[in-house]
Amino acid sequence: MTDTATTPFRDYLRFRLSRDSEMAVTWFVDKWQSSWLFKLAAFALAGLAALWVAAWLFLASDLPEAESLIGYQTPLPTVVRGIDGEIVHSYARERRVQLQFGDFPEPLINAYISAEDKTFFSHGGVDFPGTVNAVFDYATKYGSGERAVGGSTITQQLAKILLLGDEYSVTRKLKEMILASRIEGVLSKQEILELYLNEIPLGRRSFGVQAAARAYFDKDVGDLELHEAAFLAILPKAPERYGRKGQEQAAIERRDFVLAQMADNGFITEAERSAASAKPLGLARQRSERSADAGYFLEEVRRQLIEDFGESAEDGENSVYAGGLWVRTSLDVGLQNAARDSLRRGLLRYHGGRAWTGPIATINMDDGNWAGQLASSYLSISYEDWRVGVVTQRSGSAATVGFADGDEAPLSNLPDALKAGDVIAVSPQGNGFRVRTIPEAQGGMVVQNAQTGRVLAMQGGFDHRLSDFNRATQALRQPGSTIKPFVYATGLDNGMTPSTEIDNSSYCYYQGRQLGQKCIRGGRAGQFPMRYGLEQSQNIMTVQIGMQAGMENVVETIEKLDISDDPDPFAATALGAEESTVLRMVSAYSALANHGRLNKPTVIDYVQDRQGRVIWRADDRACNGCNMPEYDGSAMPRFGIKGVQAMDARTAFQTMHMLEGVVTRGTATVLSDLGLPLFGKTGTTTGPKDVWFVGGTQRLIAGVYVGFDNPRNMGGYAFGGTIAAPIFKDLIENSRDRWTALPAIAPEGIRMVRVNRRTGKRVLDGWPTGDPRSDIIWEAFKPDSEPERATRQDEIAAKRDEILNLIRDSRRAVAAGPERAEGQPADFVEEQGGIY
């Protein structure tokens, strides 16, 4: 039945098409031959059709694909978290925060629809009545230089923002309309709104409504009031205008218009509109910063991220300034603040009453706009109530200082060399400001977890806003006597013990044909146990140990612990002549505390992409069995040991144990009243040009140095024990909750033996006491290396040598004159300056 019925219909349809097309052709030929008006009309229609096809090909052929928005990734900044998971910083050139559609509050969505596109949910991408109005406005303003109204829908604006750019032309408008229609075909209305509200530029370097809410009101979008949401909705028309000073009335008028539109569209009641219109703009003058004052640490993190992932979107999908990374760091904000403040106070103490050190920078006042020049320099300071300003004028004893916001005030405490154009630090005084001095001496400080290698704090100078040169990682300095523990460790690895007696009288060695023989003298003459040489930082004993153990072996120890690059096997190396950094020295001391295991210092724990997937982590140890589907009853899986065994665990503990004596009775006794099981070593280089202290507990290690960026003499009173060690002490006093009083744990194979610290001999008839000056102490030995028991003759000989040495010291002091005898302490231990 169906086939029979269908066949006649198909034949009929075919017949009608054939007949009608023949009739149409015949009609067209007849008209063409008989009427010239018909010919003209046909030519016009053909031309219009050709023109339409050409225009379409011109506008649409090279348009971006609307499908590219389906998987579009908003360029997002990198967010940095500290050790506790709290946000401490973000790396951003633009303020951007990506939200889901459900995160946008309904009043905010309604405000934007009322302000920008009230027919958004009904049109197909183009609002034709609005477009006609825009064309009429464009025609009336053509040639006047005045910009016409846009008439663009939200979808058209999205096409402009993401795919076309902001060119002002009819061509761009037509392309925008074509793309808008295509976008409506591939994205839902909610997806279009989500992209739009995340991408729209809204001024103050903000893109998207969440970033704008933080920039203008210091709030999240969910906390905005109605009048604030309406204000954000006026910004697409003039993003850099309405938030400026002096434009408050224009902003209020435009905001109230949006509120009226919301009421007309039924989104709010008349009472709500009236209440919102009565409120002031309430713009925040300054948004609260969610950034720790840890510029040197955060810059080190940024440098490593750029090295691994690239800087901008062109470098890859996980770039620092577009990839939306989440970075977990080891930054301990409390320790960082303590390290920053301790180093600053130490630098200011050293500077003391010295003269003004000169301007931070200079500005050419003849160029005008000194406020703009100061603002563009990005120089600032975060210390107490200090500020950075520029001297705007100087006349005798009167001067004024100006700031980046254009304000000026009287200036006092004027150095003679101060002149107009000098950028300086100032602090409030009375109705004006007084000149402050930035310490010329600088320094670096690092705090590290000894067991993991995680860097917890890093300060590379007085303030990173004044100088971004990180002296904790970039300044190559001679470590002086802080290198000595590793010389002693080499001696312990080559048959010596803490009780091995070393000659401290003098040491001479041949330096070659041109330099001849070099002799090192000074200190207390005689034979002393190795411990004494380390506690009292004896140069002669250190060189003796290095030469006896073999300087090639000392160099090997230094290289294994990554202290210095390509050190030379010379005597001066044993006294700290090779260059290193604070970070590398702290890492090496951490190996001493960690039973000889060296961990690479890290500032980043792991990195996640914008979806939360971990794409990099510092701890790459495998955990076999951690992801088994079911527990099989065997021992719980554990990570392997972290780090590389860079030295014998027993040697590391022996060295650390001897370094505890540096704190209790050696060159760092300023730390002895802290009540912690501290170990460490001071260092003072020749000049002295640099002063050091590195040490800590078995859990935390910190290191600090102070010196001039262009090394020069710091003064005869500058020592590691008097300048650097007090900075370390200040750090502990201001972060006491981070430091544990638990004693150090010895590794397997260590035997604790009672010895006489003066002779190194074993003691069986006495016990150590809490007195640091007690003769009997516990000493750490490897098996079968314990010393013999002391005899009565040994004690008599030791006492005789001590009396003779005191007599010699007294005669030297008298020979040196009264000034030296009174000004230099009897137990002065770094007479040689630490380096030869």
Which is nearest to 297 in space by CA: 330, 343, 321, 322? 330
Q: Label the pairing between strands 398-402 and 387-395.
A: antiparallel
Within 8 A by CB and 6+ apart from 455, the residues are 297, 330, 446, 447, 448, 583, 601, 602, 603
Q: Containing H/E element for 377? A: helix 370-377
Contact (CB, 8 A) for 695 and 753? no
Alpha carbon dihedral 103, 107, 113, 114, in 10-degree steps, equals: -170
DSSP-derived 3-state class of residue 552: helix
Buried b or exposed e, range 159-185, using 16+ CB within 10 angstroms = bbbbbbeeeeeeebbebbbbbbbbbbe
Which is nearest to 510 in space by CA: 551, 557, 570? 570
Establish whether the linkage from the previous residue to 825 is cis, with ω within 30° of 0: no
Which is nearest to 785 in space by CA: 530, 487, 545? 530
- The catalytic residue among 90, 114, 116, 535 is 116
Residues 734-741: contacts with CB within 8 Å, 24+ apart? 734/337, 734/338, 734/341, 734/342, 735/334, 735/335, 735/338, 735/339, 737/334, 738/332, 738/334, 738/335, 738/700, 739/676, 739/697, 739/699, 739/700, 740/676, 740/697, 740/699, 741/675, 741/676, 741/677
User: Is 116 among the residues known to form the active site?
Assistant: yes
Integer Cα distance of 749 and 652 in angstroms:
12
Q: 128-141 and 170-186 helices cross at what angle (nearest 10)?
A: 170
CA terminus-to-terminus distance, the chain: 116
Written as six digits, the tokens of 751 are 């035997």
Contact (CB, 8 A) for 695 and 680? yes
Within 8 A by CB and 6+ apart from 622, the residues are 639, 640
- The catalytic residue among 481, 499, 580, 587 is 481
For the residues of 644-698, what is the DSSP string, one character each?
Answer: EE-S-HHHHHHHHHHHHHHHHHSTTGGGGGG-S--EEEEEE-SSS-EEEEEEE-S
Contact (CB, 8 A) for 494 and 523? no
Q: Could you give the residue numbers annotated as active site?
A: 116, 481
